[in-house]
């Protein structure tokens, strides 16, 4: 008998065990808590090794996912700070207000808090939870406490308002599917009464400090100060430095807040102003960097262990932070080791973010869909983080319209070069047009996500595009079937459905080519697979160019007719010109892809290089693993592993040399320089393509001269010049 001493009996209280402390949780109405400890010890000793006592509904598989208590990697409730709650920490003076009774130390400590919050914010943007980063600040968690301290209070308010604004914009746009920690705010006090006044509070604090700065300058130049202003702190030698350090930090916050407020204005109305604030933010950031020297020279505070990776400019430990206090709030995510970025890295992060936002703000709000797609791809080349990507997305798709202005049937009718359809109600209601509009919206949203997620999603939506183009084709074959025959005249109907089909196909191939090239950026292909990847790219790009050229032909036909009618040489020829140079650029890609695929195949055939000898999966399996999603969507139709084998099995180096694919690519790049002269990004790419073509042409000749079967020959492929087109490096050992 080892249990059940009375503890109050019956309902609340219940019975308790003998040795252990009384359980503070009441048992049910007619029940008691009985100590099962001794029974467990005794029974377990009679169990066999590996034997379990469990219920019928037990599943080992499900049990694997049980949260292990007291495991620091799984149990976020594990006790590690010494304090059980924020209140207890505050009672123990972890986050005093003011931070110090000595006014100089107080300012120094506030600067450290501001800097650490800045590093925390960058860490949050980089994928850690808000609770473990910015909201590890006790001042932010209990913002009312800071109200007697106007400087600290104003900074905390605006910090919270910014976090709240970013969480809401990201969760609205849902660009964060994979980076889901960003928007997890659970029980954090993100909103508070009066936060909308944060700017005016900050402005008045800024005003005070700038007066203090003026006063101390006047004093130092021995002019009598006109106003009697109380200094920021007690040491007159440090007054100017402290005022400056604080001012740039406060002004950075102010402009940073403005950037996001301006960017959220509908129809991109605030973009111009946002760019101005971005520029101001960047200049304040450089003042902040300059303040580092001053702050490091001060004899206060206890320095962080590694001053170079310190999270504050001064290198001192900030007070008022404890990430473990609210670790329970980060559930259901397991607790993660959060390494806060160093202050210097955080400055670098914000510079990058602001440049990315500047790129977003430079967006031309009178867009043609082709230009938008090109723009987003260019933007993704900057490898922007979530915050910038989200802002681009909310700009692109607002209220179900492109840039909040043009409904997607307008966009489509313009893309089809049939602007007269815009007002046509039947066209707008057409099932295909509605579906196509939805597909474009999801395409634009997907293009703003991170590239890993983007690739996955692109592969998936290809099916939808494929199905739609199949349906269009069927409708078209039924001779402008019953779906589109509501249009004004049959001729028009035929025209629309034909153009719609071409346009849809073109974009399906565009998505496929983006899917394939992203594989290079994500390093998903091994050198042994380059051959099949370039071959597939070649096939896809060929179709893309074909469709593009069909569209150009139709457009120029329309233009000619219009010109004859109106004798008007307006915009269209210019648009056509850019379209044909885009198709020429694709031709250049095709030459490179074909050249690389054939070169790799020839090396494979002649020197037995780049062969797959994996014990796990053969070439055919790899082919289907890489291109499964494309094949399922029939992009393109009738392409199979056997076709790939058939077209590469006879490749020989001499044949590849004779074909001169790379020479052709070079020829195209030089002819394109004129038409891309105004676009620095495209000029840069042309240069890269030229270098790849030139290198590969020479490498090919060397291989041909030495003989591909020469055992001393070593060929490898590198991406030194272009992210998607490999460059052959030939060595002899």
Partner 1 sequence: MQDVHSDSLVSGNSGGDGSPLVARLRKLLFRRMLVGVSDGRFFLGVFHCIDKQGNIILQDAVEYRSVRQSSSSPMEQRCLGLILIPARCRSSCHVECSIDEQMSLLSLNK
Determine, following the binding rule CB under 8 A, whether residue 36 of this chain makes contact with partner 1: yes
State which residue, 45 or 302, has the beta carbon closest to partner 1.
45
Nearer of residues 18 and 561 to partner 1, judged by Cβ = 18
Binding flag, residue 9, partner 1 (CB under 8 A):
yes
User: Smallest distance, Å, CB 190 to partner 1?
Assistant: 19
**Which one of 39-47, 504-512, 611-619, 643-651 is the stretch in contact with partner 1 (CB under 8 A)?**
39-47
Taking the complex as a whole, the smallest distance from the CB of residue 708 to partner 1 amounts, in Å, to 53
Q: What strands, in cross-sheet order, belong to the sheet with 401-402?
A: 397-398, 401-402, 406-407
Of 48-56, 225-233, 505-513, 653-661, the segment contacting partner 1 by CB under 8 A is 48-56
Among 5, 11, 12, 42, binds partner 1 (CB under 8 A): 42
Query: Is the Cβ–Cβ distance between 424 and 487 less than 8 Å?
Result: yes
Contact 466, 452 (CB under 8 A): no
Contact between 244 and 237 (Cβ < 8 Å) = no
Q: Stretches 25-33, 450-458, 493-501, 659-667: which one binds partner 1 (CB under 8 A)?
A: 25-33
Among 5, 12, 20, 225, binds partner 1 (CB under 8 A): 20
Burial (CB count within 10 angstroms: exposed 0-12, middle 13-18, buried 19+), residue 111:
buried
Token digits for 355? 């440049």
Q: Is 471 left (phi over 0), alpha (psi -120 to 50) or beta?
A: alpha
Residue (7 or 241) nearer to partner 1, CB: 7
Stretch that binds partner 1, among 50-58, 235-243, 475-483, 612-620 (CB under 8 A): 50-58
Which region, judged by CB under 8 A, interacts with partner 1, from 47-55, 194-202, 265-273, 278-286?
47-55
Q: Are 195 and 164 in contact, with CB atoms under 8 Å apart?
A: yes
The CB-of-42 to partner 1 minimum distance in angstroms stands at 5
In whole angstroms, the minimum distance from the beta carbon of 136 to partner 1 comes to 19
Q: Which of 293, 317, 313 is nearest to 303 (CA)?
A: 317
Q: How far is the CB of 647 from partner 1 (least distance, A)?
A: 46
- Residue from 5, 11, 12, 67 touching partner 1 (CB under 8 A): that is 67
**Using rule CB under 8 A, residue 52 touches partner 1:** yes
Size, binding site for partner 1 by CB under 8 A: 65
Q: Is 477 exposed, middle or buried (0-12, 13-18, 19+ CB in 10 A)?
A: exposed
Looking at 13-21, 364-372, 393-401, 575-583, which segment touches partner 1 (CB under 8 A)? Answer: 13-21
Which residue, 30 or 712, is less far from partner 1 as judged by CB? 30
Span between the terminal Cα atoms of the chain, in Å = 83
Q: Could you tell me the smallest distance in angstroms from the CB atom of residue 60 to partner 1?
A: 5
Report phi then psi at 728, rounded to 5: -80, 135
Are the C-beta atoms of residues 244 and 287 closer than 8 Å to each other?
yes
> Are the CB atoms for 424 and 493 separated by under 8 Å?
no
CB of 141 to partner 1, least distance (A): 14
> Which one of 11, 54, 203, 673 is in contact with partner 1 (CB under 8 A)?
54
- Rounded to a whole number of angstroms, the minimum distance from the CB of residue 6 to partner 1 is 10
Q: What is the DSSP string of 673-715?
A: TTTTTT-HHHHHHHHHHHHHHHHHHHHHHHHHHH-TT-TTEEE
Site string for partner 1, 70-89 (x = CB under 8 A): xx-----xxx----xx-xx-
Min CB(97)–partner 1 separation in Å: 21
Is residue 530 within 8 A of residue 596, CB to CB? The reply is yes
Pick 76 or 450: Cβ nearer partner 1: 76
The CA distance from 32 to 419, in Å, is 79
Contact between residue 472 and residue 455 where contact means Cβ atoms under 8 Å apart: no
Give the list of residues 6+ apart from residue 544 with CB closer than 8 angstroms, or none: 506, 509, 510, 512, 513, 586
CA distances from 405 to 268, 396, 410, 444 (A): 10, 10, 10, 15
How far apart CA 429 and CA 482 sit, in angstroms, is 14
What is the spatial distance between Cα 519 and Cα 524, in angstroms, rounded to a whole number?
A: 5
- Only one of the segments 30-38, 202-210, 489-497, 578-586 lies at the binding site for partner 1 (rule: CB under 8 A); that segment is 30-38
CA torsion angle 208 210 214 219 (round to 10)? 60
Nearer to partner 1, 10 or 348 (CB): 10
Q: Give the residue with the Cβ less far from partner 1, 1 or 337.
A: 1
Closer CB to partner 1, 48 or 712, in the complex = 48
Near partner 1 by CB under 8 A: residue from 5, 11, 12, 68: 68
User: Should residue 17 be labelled a site residue for partner 1 when binding is judged by CB under 8 A?
Assistant: yes
Q: List the interface residues with partner 1, window 299-328 (CB under 8 A).
A: 328
Using rule CB under 8 A, residue 192 touches partner 1: no
Query: What is the nearest approach in angstroms of partner 1 to the Cβ of residue 142?
Result: 14
* Interface segment toward partner 1; rule CB under 8 A; list 54-62, 220-228, 415-423, 561-569: 54-62
User: Among the candidate windows 67-75, 222-230, 264-272, 418-426, which touches partner 1 by CB under 8 A?
Assistant: 67-75
From the CB of 335, what's the least distance to partner 1, in Å?
Answer: 13
Contact set for partner 1, span 558-577 (CB under 8 A): none
**371 C-beta neighbours (distance < 10 Å), count:** 14
Distance CA 377, CA 358 (A): 16
Nearest Cα residue to 590 out of 641, 555, 549: 549
SS3 call for 2:
coil
CB of 212 to partner 1, least distance (A): 41
- Calpha distance 278→733 (Å, rounded): 54
Residues from 86 through 115 that contact partner 1 (CB under 8 A): 87-88
Find the binder of partner 1 among 5, 11, 12, 44 (CB under 8 A).
44
Transcribe 471-535 into DSSP letters.
HHHHHHHTTS-TTTTTSSSHHHHHHHHHHHHHHHHHHHHHHHHHHHHHHHHTT---GGGHHHHHH
With binding defined as CB under 8 A, does residue 279 bind partner 1? no
Q: Which of 5, 12, 40, 204 binds partner 1 (CB under 8 A)?
A: 40
- Interface contacts to partner 1, rule CB under 8 A: 1-4, 9-10, 14-17, 19-21, 23-25, 27-28, 30-44, 46-55, 58-63, 65-71, 77-79, 84-85, 87-88, 328, 331
């Amino acid at each position: 008998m080892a249990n059940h001493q009375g503890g109050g009996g019956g309902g609340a209280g219940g019975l308790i065990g003998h040795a252990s402390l009384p359980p503070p949780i009441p048992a049910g109405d007619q029940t008691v808590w009985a100590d099962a400890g001794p029974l467990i010890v005794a029974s377990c000793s009679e169990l066999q090794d590996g034997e379990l006592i469990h219920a019928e509904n037990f599943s080992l598989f499900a049990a694997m996912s049980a949260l292990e208590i007291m495991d620091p990697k799984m149990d976020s409730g594990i006790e590690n700070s010494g304090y059980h709650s924020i209140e207890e920490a505050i009672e123990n003076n972890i986050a005093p207000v003011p931070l110090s009774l000595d006014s100089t130390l107080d300012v120094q400590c506030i600067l450290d808090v501001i800097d650490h919050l800045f590093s925390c914010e960058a860490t949050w943007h980089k994928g850690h939870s808000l609770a473990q980063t910015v909201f590890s600040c006790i001042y932010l968690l209990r913002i009312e406490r800071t109200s007697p301290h106007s400087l600290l209070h104003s900074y905390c308010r605006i910090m919270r308002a910014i976090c709240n604004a970013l969480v809401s914009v990201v969760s609205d746009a849902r660009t964060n599917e994979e980076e889901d920690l960003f928007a997890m705010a659970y029980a954090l006090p993100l909103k508070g009464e009066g936060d909308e006044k944060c700017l005016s509070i900050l402005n008045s604090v800024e005003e005070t400090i700038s007066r203090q700065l003026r006063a101390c300058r006047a004093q130092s130049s021995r002019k009598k100060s006109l106003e009697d202003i109380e200094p920021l702190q007690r040491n007159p030698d440090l007054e100017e430095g402290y005022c400056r350090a604080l001012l740039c930090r406060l002004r950075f916050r102010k402009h940073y807040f403005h950037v996001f407020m301006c960017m959220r204005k509908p129809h991109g109305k605030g973009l111009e102003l946002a760019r101005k604030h971005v520029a101001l933010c960047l200049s304040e950031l450089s003042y902040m960097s300059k303040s580092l020297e001053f702050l490091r020279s001060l004899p206060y505070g206890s320095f962080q262990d590694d001053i170079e990776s310190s999270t504050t400019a001064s290198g001192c430990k900030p007070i008022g932070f404890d990430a473990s206090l609210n670790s329970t709030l980060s559930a259901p995510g397991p607790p993660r080791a959060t390494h806060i970025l160093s202050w210097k890295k955080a400055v670098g992060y914000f510079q990058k973010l602001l440049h990315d936002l500047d790129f977003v703000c430079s967006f031309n709000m009178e867009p043609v869909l082709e230009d938008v797609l090109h723009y987003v791809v260019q933007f993704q080349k900057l490898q922007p983080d979530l915050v910038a990507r989200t802002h681009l997305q909310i700009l692109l798709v607002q209220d179900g319209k492109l840039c909040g202005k043009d409904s997607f049937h307008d966009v489509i009718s313009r893309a089809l070069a049939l602007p007269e359809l815009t007002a046509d109600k039947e066209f707008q209601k057409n099932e295909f047009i509605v579906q196509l509009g939805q597909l474009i919206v999801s395409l634009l949203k997907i293009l703003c996500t991170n590239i890993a997620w983007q690739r996955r999603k692109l592969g998936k939506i290809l099916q939808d595009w494929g199905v739609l183009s199949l349906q269009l084709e069927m409708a078209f074959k039924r001779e402008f079937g019953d779906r589109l025959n509501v249009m004004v005249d049959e001729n028009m109907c035929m025209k629309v459905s034909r153009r719609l089909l071409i346009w849809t196909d073109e974009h399906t191939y565009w998505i496929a080519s983006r899917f394939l090239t992203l594989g290079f950026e994500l390093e998903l292909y091994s050198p042994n697979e380059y051959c099949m990847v370039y071959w597939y790219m070649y096939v896809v790009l060929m179709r893309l160019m074909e469709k593009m050229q069909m569209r150009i032909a139709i457009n120029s036909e329309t233009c000619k007719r219009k010109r004859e009618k109106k004798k008007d040489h307006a915009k269209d020829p210019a648009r056509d010109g850019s379209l044909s140079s885009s198709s020429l650029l694709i031709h250049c890609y095709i030459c490179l892809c074909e050249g690389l695929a054939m070169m790799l195949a020839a090396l494979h055939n002649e020197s037995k290089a780049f062969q797959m000898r994996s014990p796990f999966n053969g070439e055919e399996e790899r082919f289907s693993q890489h291109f499964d999603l494309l094949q399922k969507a029939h992009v393109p139709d009738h392409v199979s592993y056997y076709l790939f084998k058939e077209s590469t099995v006879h490749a020989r180096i001499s044949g590849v040399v004779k074909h001169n694919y790379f020479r052709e690519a070079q020829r195209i790049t030089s002819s394109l320089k004129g038409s891309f002269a105004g676009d620095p990004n495209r000029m840069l790419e042309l240069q890269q393509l030229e270098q790849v073509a030139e290198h590969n042409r020479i490498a090919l000749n060397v291989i041909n001269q030495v003989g591909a079967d020469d055992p001393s020959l070593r060929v490898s492929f590198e991406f030194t010049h272009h992210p998607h087109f490999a460059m052959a490096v030939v060595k002899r050992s």
